Amino acid sequence: MRPYNLIEGDDGRRRCAWCEEHPLYKSYHDNEWGVPTFDDKIHFEFIVLESAQAGLSWLTVLRKREAYREAYANFDIDRITSWGRREIETLMNNSGIIRNRKKIEASISNARVFREISAKNGSFSEWLLEFFDGRILVNNWRTINEIPSTTPRAVAIAKELKAVGFRFIGPTVMYAHLQATGIVNDHLVGCWKRQSLDSG
């Protein structure tokens, strides 16, 4: 059966069609989305960005990504956990990021909880992988419509994170995080990136 919802780019590669909407999406699809990462700094960066996205498009967030990296000290978790009112006001005055006070305050308190989870489990990704029996989940979707916005595992992870103090983390945000960091591979069957990950 021929895969659906793939589009062939100028380079002859077939990709998940959603990434052709903008060059930033294409770069994100080709270089990050679905690629397994076990680096706490990257996981925390995505959590901050995904939480900030709520109610906005991911493209809006990608356009602000470099400003976020600068504003958040390149997502140095140890530095961020020490931030307080002064840093919050600095972030609120930064036009390069999404200036939502509750989201900014949550990003700092989440950093503290994130570090605790990482310290207890070796890394944040190791903690996440416990929900998947220690293995990356590779799905076999052929159409974009098959890809869920959340799953029972994402619901369970979000519930546990909220129980220990995380804010702005729901099941949908959590599933987006799992996809972004490659804990779940949702590239469509026939996508060149999926094939490169499978062969790697």
Active-site annotation, residues: 28, 50, 58
Residue 53 one-letter amino acid: Q
Give the whole-angstrom CA distance, residue 126 versus residue 145. 30
48-52 contacts, C-beta under 8 A, 24 or more apart: 48/72, 48/75, 48/107, 48/110, 50/173, 50/176, 50/177, 50/180, 51/103, 51/106, 51/107, 51/110, 51/167, 51/168, 51/169, 51/173, 52/97, 52/98, 52/100, 52/103, 52/107
